[in-house]
Amino acid sequence: MAYQYDWGLVVSGQYGHDIVKGLVTTLEISSLSIVFALFLGTLTCIMRLSRVKVLDWASRVYIEFFRNTPLLVQMFFWYFGTQPLFPKIVNDWLNRQTFIELGWSVVALSFYTGAFIAEDLRSGIFAIPKTQLEASRACGLSFLQAMRYVVLPQAFRIIVPPLISQSLNLLKNSSLAMTLGVMELTGTVRQIGDMGAHGIEAYTVATAIYLCISLIVSFAVQRYDRRVSRVTR
């Protein structure tokens, strides 16, 4: 018997409603993760550039560890491997929370992406003339003040394209949250497929959603690059 496609059921029916809920969860995970990743990446970059050896060493370990180990392994580590590190009362509280799988997914994505952002930001800082930092220090600003008011604002402007690329990678990497039981977009369509009910349509719709988001953001980055190029000429 030939397979009967039913796009209406996936797009506008009950499965369509489930896919929209999965997309919302994906966007929530991605939004929270990129905010925390920006904070971790910025903090790590500043530690890496400081003259305090302990901070420099700690930042290097963090960057090398999270950049060179698979994200899926890191997710399993945060979700399953950290439990022995907490006291029983904390584990009992965590096990009662309904958001725990989503929370650990955000933690894993944030630490993973933060390591890449730290290196992108460091490259942006190196693109700024060193004399600006020296002039800021000569005016009486501390290292942190010079970074906050002079260097970082310029560096973030420089790294907008790679920063958006990291955000897109994070959005796509959020699909791994389904391995922890989070019903985000990919987890939702997989559940539909496991039920044997129009999995082809569901996976096609999910692929189209990821593709549309990526193309829209890529187009925005290209427009930004052209605009910045015209301004700097």
For residue 211, the model assigns a pLDDT of: 93
**Amino acid making up residue 218:** S
Q: CA 114, CA 46: separation in Å to the nearest integer?
A: 13
Class of domain 7-232: mainly alpha
Task: Please say if the pLDDT value at position 174 is more than 80.
Answer: yes
Task: Please say if the pLDDT value at position 28 is more than 80.
Answer: yes
For residue 27, the model assigns a pLDDT of: 93
Neighbours of 96 (CB within 10 A): 8
Domain map (residue ranges) of the chain: 7-232
Output Rg (C-alpha) for the chain, integer angstroms: 22
Least confident of 2-6, 79-83, 207-211: 2-6
Q: What pLDDT, in 10s, does the model give residues 102-152?
A: 889 999 999 999 999 999 999 999 888 888 888 888 888 888 888 888 888
Phi, psi dihedrals of residue 14, rounded to the nearest 5°: -60, -40
Task: Please say if the pLDDT value at position 197 is more than 70.
Answer: no
The length of the chain in residues reads: 233
CA–CA distance from 51 to each of 46, 47, 171 (Å)?
10, 8, 35
